[in-house]
Structure 1
Amino acid sequence: MEIVRDELTPEGSRFPLPSTPQIVTVTPEMASDWLSYRNHPKNRPMSKAVSFKYQKDMEADRWRSGTPEGYIFDTEGYIISGQHRMKAQANSNTTLEVWIFPAEPREIFEVVDQGYKRTAAHVLNVPYAVNIAAAARHLAALADGDRWGMPRFSKITTPEVVATFHAWPELTWYIKDIQGASLEASIPVGPHAAVIAQAARSSDDLAHDLIQTWLAGVRTGEDLGARDPRLHLRRRFHGGLPTGKGKRDHAYALIVKAWNAYAAGEDITILRHMSTEPLPKVAGFDFERKSA
């Protein structure tokens, strides 16, 4: 590549930029060098959380399968866009093929990264994508193994959600009926779909008909006895989603408990989950043995 070694090489940087936009093999050393010597003082403050998300994806080899936006530099060779990815590259010791855009006017800094963020649902591009993405996020968070909750739920990245979706075809099998249960009984789709996906992959020989009758009951509420777990689940969510700290874990736990009771043919008189309880597991499913 043709290198400009003067105006595009701030003092101290060992790695000059190309003179024209092109794909460059960027090593961790280059990323660290550019971050140290080319980061403009007016760039937004570095977010450790953002760079850590990128780092985890790079370490899991998810970043290579995507098409990240390029590293953009101004006419003096200073970073306009890319500091968080460079930090992640340096910390993860990852080499990437990256588009480098040198000599861009500094003024574009005001509009870079102001667009509509691409979500996992946009990438999946399947029916009910938003809800399937939410379910995949639950599964990715649960796979961490912390059964007292899902502390990493908000930190699951888009590539991780997409990878989970591809690893879990069960997420699409019953999504239409699960969506119907949400519309009719306000049962949240994300955790519900995550539970049913695990049930479908259960080590038990669960019949397709069992999941179908479960979904028909929670969706319509018809012909349910007073002790039917499906009736209790409908009643718990008819009044709205759980509130307060741990509400996501609470909603997920209620669905698991109701499903487990129904799958075991057990009646219940009350459906509840205490914050002092660990998250219940879907009967017959073990993430360590069955998620791969």
Structure 2
Amino acid sequence: MGSNLWPVGQERDELTPANDPYPLPSKPQIMAVTPEMASSWLSYRNHPKNRPLSKTVSARYQTDMEAGRWAQATPEGYIFDSQGYIISGQHRMKAQANGNVELMMWVFPDQPREIFEVVDQGYKRTAAHLIQAPYATSLGAGARHLAALADGDRWGMPRFARITTPEVVETFHAWPELTWYAKQAHAAFLETGIPIGPHVAVLAQAARTEHRDLLHDWAHGVKSGEDLSGSDPRLLLRKRFRAGLPTGRGKRDHAYALIVKAWNAYATGDHVNVLRHMSTELLPKVAGFEFPKEKAA
């Protein structure tokens, strides 16, 4: 990082001073931005009226950059005003600097400061916008479950909320099985309240096991409830969600665990009288499935 080029709080009157070790280009272009450049720009070119840096946002960007999910030369580049202040890009710069990642980025110098008021005001793009399939929102939730479970923490899914949109989309494409019974899971949700995301996540894992031939009958039974005996795990699952789950912090894990337990009992032929999951229990694994060890956190 270079020396402090401007006294704090002093307006600069030129785009790039002569002693700037990381000068801006003279016109918009794609260029290699190093971690050192990003760090220097963030330290000495951040406008005092920019919104406060969010560690959560920059950490999400850093995760994607380090994993190679950040699109190089994205049109959403680094924007600077006519005095060299950052208009847009501080969180990406922070992620680059912390992650020690070099990227090819669009850099837009000498832009009017007035655009600051309209940059980043759009509708945030979600995983559902990027998943081109019916039930996209629910399939995105299923992919998020799978990404969280791949970390290997069977006491819960602590990283669930921190999984980024690119990671969700990447996981969706790696798991085509998520779509196989989405229609039936949606119908079951309308009838019983069984959440679609964890349901399709469980079925996707089951589809990679020796029990995959049972998936059709499972989905039909959970959806319709027809001709199910009192001890059928599908009937118990329907009744459990119709009765409602306790609200609170562990509801997501609780819902997932109940679906896994019901599926495991059905797939292995175990006798079940009561379907329940205690907060002191480990999250159950789908019978016959293990996440690859190299993906564990």
Note whether the superposition's TM-score is higher than 0.5.
yes
Q: Relative to 1, partners in 2 of residues 1:32 and 1:176: Cα closer, same or farther, differing over 3 Å?
A: same
1:116 partner SS: coil
| Alignment match, 1:105 | 112
Counterpart in the other structure of 1:288: 292
Which of 240, 252, 258 is the equivalent residue of 2:256?
A: 252
The superposition leaves residues 59-104 of structure 1 with CA deviations (integer Å, 9 ceiling, x where unpaired) of 1111136836111111111101100100110111111111111122
Q: What is the DSSP-based 3-state SS (H/G/I as helix, E as strand, rest coil) of the residue aligned with 1:63?
A: coil
Which residue, 53, 56, 65 being the options, matches 1:49? 56
Q: Are the structure 2 counterparts of residues 241 and 75 from structure 1 closer, same or farther at C-alpha, using a change threshold of 3 Å?
A: farther
Q: Which segments of 5 or more consecutive residues in structure 2 lack a partner in the other structure? A: 1-12
Q: Is the 8 A contact 1:50 1:84 kept in 2?
A: yes
Displacement of 1:173 in angstroms is: 1.5
Structure 2 equivalent of residue 221 of structure 1: 225
Matched residue, 1:151: 158
Whole-Å separation in 2 of the counterparts to 1:37 and 1:199: 53
Aligned pairs for 1:151-190 within 5 A: 151-190=158-197
Q: Give the secondary structure class of the aligned counterpart of 2:105.
A: strand
In the TM superposition, what is the alpha-carbon distance from 1:236 to its structure 2 partner?
Answer: 1.3
Q: Is the 8 A contact 1:13 1:34 kept in 2?
A: no
Q: Deviations over 1:153-209 (max 9, x none)?
A: 00000110111111111111121111111122211000000000000012xx2243x
> Does the CA-based 8 Å contact 1:21-1:99 persist in structure 2?
yes
Looking at structure 2, the residues matched to 254 and 11 of structure 1 have their Cα atoms a distance apart, in angstroms, of 65
Within the candidate set 189, 202, 207, 1:195 is matched to 202
- The residue number in structure 1 matching 2:38 is 31
Q: Determine if the alignment matches structure 1 residue 269 to structure 2 residue 265.
A: no
- Counterpart among 133, 136, 140 of residue 129 in structure 1: 136
Amino acid at match of 1:113: D
| Corresponding position of 1:279 | 283
- The aligned residue for residue 64 of structure 1 is 71
In structure 2, the partner of 1:206 is 211
Q: CA 1:149–1:224 in 2, change beyond 3 Å: closer, same or farther?
A: same
Measured in 2, the distance between the counterparts of 1:178 and 1:133 equals 14
Bigger Cα displacement from structure 2, 139-148 vs 58-67? 58-67
Q: Aligned-pair RMSD on alpha carbons?
A: 2.0
Q: How much identity, in percent, do the aligned residues show?
A: 71
CA distance in structure 2 between the partners assigned to 1:290 and 1:267 by the alignment: 35
Shift of the 67–124 alpha-carbon distance from structure 1 to 2, 3 Å rule, reads farther
For 1:288 and 1:50, locate their aligned partners in 2 and report how far apart those are by CA, in whole Å.
28
User: Quick one: structure 1 residues 12 and 146, their matched pair in 2 at CA, closer, same or farther if it must change by over 3 Å?
Assistant: farther
Indicate the residue corresponding to 1:243 in structure 2.
247
Per-residue CA deviation, residues 135-163 of structure 1 (Å, 9 max, x unaligned), is 00000000011000000000000110111
The answer to whether structure 1 residue 17 and structure 2 residue 33 are counterparts is no
Deviation at 1:242, TM superposition (A): 4.0
Distance apart, 1:288 and its partner CA:
2.4
What is the deviation of 1:240?
3.4
3-state SS of 2:107 partner: strand
2:105 partner amino acid: V
Question: For residue 3 of structure 1, what is the aligned residue in structure 2?
Answer: none
Looking at structure 2, the residues matched to 91 and 270 of structure 1 have their Cα atoms a distance apart, in angstroms, of 49
1:94 is paired with a residue whose SS is coil
- What TM-score results when the alignment is normalised by the length of structure 2? 0.91
The alpha carbon displacement at 1:124 in A equals 1.6
- 1:219-241 Cα distance to aligned partner (Å, 9 max, x none): 11111111111111111111334
Whole-angstrom CA distance in 1 between matches of 2:179 and 2:205: 12
CA separation in 2, counterparts of 1:236 and 1:67? 47
Distance 1:26 1:249 in 2: 41
